[in-house]
Amino acid sequence: MYRNNVIMRIIVSNRCVGCGACSTISPEVFEISGNSAIANQTKISGHEESCIDAALNCPVNAIKIDEY
């Protein structure tokens, strides 16, 4: 389980090639639009673990996760 009282923010960099790995792992948060992924920031809560998995499995390391 993700840590309580920590808010996660996801940034998809311009290195994204739109392969769809993130949207397969965490379809609630990520979607592919054209040649890039988009992270819906309002859907992260409750899906933090799958977002981390998506970032770890990104083949071009385009997903950055910030906490605050």
Pick the CATH number of 8-67 from 3.50.50.60, 3.40.640.10, 3.40.47.10, 3.30.70.20: 3.30.70.20
Tens-place pLDDT, residues 11-55: 999 999 999 999 999 999 999 999 999 999 999 999 999 999 999
**Do residues 37 and 54 touch, judged by C-beta distance below 8 A?**
no
pTM score, two decimals? 0.89
> Is the confidence at residue 1, as pLDDT, over 60?
no
Strand partners, 9: 66
Distance linking the first and last C-alpha atoms of the chain: 17
**Do residues 62 and 15 touch, judged by C-beta distance below 8 A?**
yes
Give the list of residues 6+ apart from residue 23 with CB closer than 8 angstroms, or none: 30, 31, 32, 37
Domain boundaries, the chain: 8-67
